[in-house]
Amino acid sequence: MYTSKSVQVGDKVLILRPAYVIGKVGVVCGFESNTDSQAGRRCIIQIESENIVVSLTPDEFQGLSPGFK
């Protein structure tokens, strides 16, 4: 695993919170853009096993090693 602050679009991540998606694997689809610095750090993540898209801050997920399936 690697730091969530260095993730890029297409990277797989492990969700650490919120509870309803904890432990699931997702794919980074993009990043929120806003003039608010807090929103600018949020990532849009598609949960692989479900039809759910979430917006998470870097402390709510962790990047998975390249090649993780």
In terms of pTM, does the model score above 0.85? no
Q: CATH number of the domain at 4-63, please?
A: 2.30.30.140
CA atoms of 29 and 61, how far apart (whole Å): 14
Domain limits, the chain: 4-63
Task: Quick: pLDDT tens for 4-37.
Answer: 668 899 999 999 999 999 999 999 999 987 756 5
Residue 66 has pLDDT above 80, yes or no: no
Residue 25, C-beta contacts closer than 8 angstroms, at least 6 positions apart: 12, 13, 14, 15, 47, 48, 49, 64, 68
